[in-house]
C-alpha cells in the first residue's frame, strides 16, 4: 500500500508540474533574441579560498571574485587562450578554446594550491515549450570526500522528496548535470544529498524514474524556487564537509548587452 501511495503522489506531482504556469516579464529578452556575444561567466568554488580569486587572460584581469560567488558574462574574443587563476599568491594556467558567438560557464573547484576548472557550453535556445517551461542544471561545487551528489526536489503540497533518476543524480565534484526542463511556476524546495542514499526502489511515473527520500543530506535550501518561462538556471551548491551554501544563477540576466 505504501508503494502504491507513493506512486499516486508522484503522479499527482507530475500533473501539478505540467499544469502550472508563470507569466514571463516582458522586459527580459527571450533566448532566441539574445545578443551574439562571445562571453564567459565564472563561478568561484574553491573549497579553501579565503581571499579573492582573479581570472586573467595574460595581464588582463577578466574578473575578481570572492569565494562562493559568480560573475556576469564577460565579453571575450574568439581565440585559443591561457586562463590564469590567481589566488593566495598561487598562479595556475589552463588552456581554453573560445569559439565565436558562444556562451560559456567556467567552474572553478579544488583548492588554492590545486585548482581545477570545468568549462560548460551554455546553449540558450528556446526550451521545448517556451510558454510553460524553464530549464535548469545542478552544479556540484561542494566537497564531501569522494562522494558525488544528487539533487532532490520537495513539493510541499505532497510532502514528498524525489530524485529524477538519470538527470540529477551522481554529479561528481566540480561537474554539472545537463540542463533539464521543468514547468514554470511550480515552487519547490531543493536539497543536495549523497548519491545512492535514496530509497533503492524505483518508481516509474509515465516513463520517468524517481527515487524517494535521502539518508545523507548535505544541504537543504531554506527557501523555495520556481523558474520563469523560457529561462535557464544553474543551481550551485558550494562548500565542504558540513559547511554548505548555494546560489541560483539565472543565465539570461547575467548577459551584458
Per-residue pLDDT of the chain (257 residues; tens, 9 = 90+): 444 344 344 444 443 333 333 333 444 446 766 788 899 999 999 988 777 999 999 999 999 999 999 999 999 999 999 999 999 889 999 999 999 999 999 999 999 999 999 999 999 888 999 999 999 999 999 999 889 999 999 877 678 899 999 999 999 999 999 999 988 988 889 999 999 999 988 889 888 899 999 999 999 999 899 999 999 999 999 999 888 999 999 999 999 88
Q: What is the pTM of this model?
A: 0.86
User: Residues 181-203, buried b or exposed e (16+ Cβ, 10 A)?
Assistant: bbbbbbebbbbbbbbebbbeeeb
Q: Could you write out the DSSP letters of every residue in 61-96?
A: EEEEE-TTEE--PEE--SEEEEEEEEETTEEEEEEE
- Residues 6 or more apart in contact with residue 171 via CB below 8 angstroms: 138, 139, 140, 148, 149, 150, 151, 177, 195
CA–CA gap between residue 70 and residue 246 (Å, rounded): 11
Amino acid at each position: 500500500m505504501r508503494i502504491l501511495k507513493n506512486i499516486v503522489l508522484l503522479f499527482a506531482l507530475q500533473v501539478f508540474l505540467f499544469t502550472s504556469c508563470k507569466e514571463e516579464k516582458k522586459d527580459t529578452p527571450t533566448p532566441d533574441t539574445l545578443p551574439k556575444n562571445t562571453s564567459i561567466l565564472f563561478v568561484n568554488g574553491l573549497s579553501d579560498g579565503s581571499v579573492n580569486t582573479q581570472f586573467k587572460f595574460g595581464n588582463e584581469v577578466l574578473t575578481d571574485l570572492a569565494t562562493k560567488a559568480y560573475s556576469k558574462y564577460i565579453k571575450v574574443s574568439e581565440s585559443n587562450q591561457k586562463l590564469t587563476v590567481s589566488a593566495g599568491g598561487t598562479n595556475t594556467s589552463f588552456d581554453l578554446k573560445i569559439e565565436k558567438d558562444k556562451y560559456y560557464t567556467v567552474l572553478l573547484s579544488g583548492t588554492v594550491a590545486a585548482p581545477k576548472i570545468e568549462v560548460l557550453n551554455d546553449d540558450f535556445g528556446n526550451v521545448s515549450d517556451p510558454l510553460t517551461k524553464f530549464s535548469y542544471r545542478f552544479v556540484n561545487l561542494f566537497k564531501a570526500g569522494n562522494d558525488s551528489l544528487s539533487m532532490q526536489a520537495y513539493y510541499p503540497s505532497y510532502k514528498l522528496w524525489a530524485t529524477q533518476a538519470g538527470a540529477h543524480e551522481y554529479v561528481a565534484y566540480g561537474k554539472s548535470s545537463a540542463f533539464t526542463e521543468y514547468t514554470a511556476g511550480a515552487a519547490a524546495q531543493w536539497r543536495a544529498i549523497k548519491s545512492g542514499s535514496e530509497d533503492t526502489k524505483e518508481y516509474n511515473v509515465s516513463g520517468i524514474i524517481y527515487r524517494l527520500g535521502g539518508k545523507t543530506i548535505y544541504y537543504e535550501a531554506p527557501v523555495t524556487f520556481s523558474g520563469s518561462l523560457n529561462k535557464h538556471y544553474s543551481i550551485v551548491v558550494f562548500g565542504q564537509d558540513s559547511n554548505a551554501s548555494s546560489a541560483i544563477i539565472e543565465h539570461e540576466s547575467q548577459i551584458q548587452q
